[in-house]
Amino acid sequence: MDFHVYRKQGMAHHHQHTTPTQSLNGIFIFSIVLNVLFVLIEAGVGLWQDSLSLLSDAGHNLSDVFSLLLVLVAFRLAKVHSNERYTYGYRKSTVLISLLNAVILLVAVGAIVIESIHKFSEPAEVNGIAVSWTAGVGILTNGLTAFLLMHGQKNDLNVRGAFLHMVADTLVSVGVVISGIIIYYTGWNMVDPIVSLIIAAVILISTWELLSDSLRLAVDGIPDGVDKREIEHVLLAAEHVKDIHHVHIWAISTTETALTAHIVINDLTHWTQVSEHIKHELAEHGITHATLEPETPDAMCHHKEC
């Protein structure tokens, strides 16, 4: 059999399409409804007590509802089938949405810092009891949402982004409760911006990792948790494999990783066995889309001379 014909027939593809489960979609829908209700309550109390801080936090929580909606959009886009113009469907858009969520978190941190600086220069009177009770409801609402997202955030950047939004809001609410209690008993309004700046620093640290991971996937970097040297070792350890080259690893979406590689084997008659073994090993290491091309040592030498 002609080697080039064999290569076309023998090129191995391994695709495992993973989509968010129905339960995860349900969690997001529940979380959106819950947070919309809290935004309405917080905005109502803010108007009633003429509290700028509560109204500002209601606006921030509304942005988190938008972020949760973005993740639902990402789930939907990940299910879109490939077509003539987009051979991977819209899976890559899930990475862009995770990047957008990271940027939204950074904007939220910036807003907290600006508001805190403003409060230092112009401290405002705060109704400690009303603010604390409202923030207490926020702790329950955001804390429950974060708890529901805790498991899923380990495997998907978008879910991690939503989880960080909820954790950030929970921290903000905890800070508001602490501030409200201290203000009620001491009348020291300066504690509010101090606690806010501490919370902003905590959110920034956690957001930075999400931003860096999203940026890396957006430029086709190797996803977090995938070790290129380990993957190369897996390829070289397979029986009959003499060498490998043109190894590329990148993210198709926030949950799917792809690989292409040229595999040099001593005898092409073993290719089916070799490719099946490699595909199984790659799946164990999180590579859900693998395209492998076989080559003989002679062909590789000829390729290098060219």
pLDDT tens for 228-279 read 999 999 999 999 999 999 999 999 988 889 999 999 998 889 899 999 999 9
Q: Domain of 285: which CATH number?
A: 3.30.70.1350
pLDDT of residue 56: 67
Give yes or no for residue 149 having a pLDDT over 50. Answer: yes
Among candidates 27, 8, 57, which has minimal Cα distance to 294?
8
pTM: 0.74
Q: Looking at the structure, do residues 200 and 285 belong to the same domain, yes or no? A: no
Mean per-residue pLDDT over the chain, rounded: 81
Nearest-angstrom CA–CA distance, 290 and 277: 12
Radius of gyration of the chain measured on its C-alpha atoms: 26
Question: Rounded to 5, what percent of the chain is helix, strand, coil?
Answer: 70, 10, 20
Going by the DSSP 8-state scheme, the letter that residue 81 receives in this structure is: P
pLDDT in the model for residue 250: 94
pLDDT tens per residue, range 76-100 = 888 888 888 888 889 899 899 989 8
Amino acid at 147: F
State the average pLDDT over residues 147-159. 82
Per-residue pLDDT, 23 = 61
- 13: confidence class by pLDDT, cuts 50, 70, 90: very low
Domain of residue 269: give its range.
223-305
Strand order in the sheet with 241-251: 12-15, 289-295, 257-265, 241-251
In the numeric block, which tokens belong to residue 119?
Answer: 């409060």
CB 156 within 8 Å of CB 251: no
Residues 204 and 243 in one domain: no
Candidate from 50-64, 197-211, 288-302 with smallest mean pLDDT: 50-64
pLDDT value, residue 52: 61
| Domain-terminating residue out of 203, 218, 233 | 218
pLDDT the model gives residue 160:
85
Q: How many domains does the structure of the chain reveal?
A: 2
Give the pLDDT of residue 304: 52
CA angle 270/5/263 to nearest 5° reads 45
Number of neighbours of residue 44 by Cβ within 10 angstroms = 13
We report the CATH number of the domain holding residue 133 as 1.20.1510.10
Mean pLDDT comparison of 45-49, 124-128, 137-141, 171-175, highest-scoring range? 137-141
Q: Are residues 57 and 155 in the same domain?
A: yes
Residues 282, 137 share a domain = no
Structure confidence at residue 2 (pLDDT): 39
Please check the confidence at residue 294 and state whether its pLDDT lies above 90: yes
Give the tokens for residue 19.
């989509």
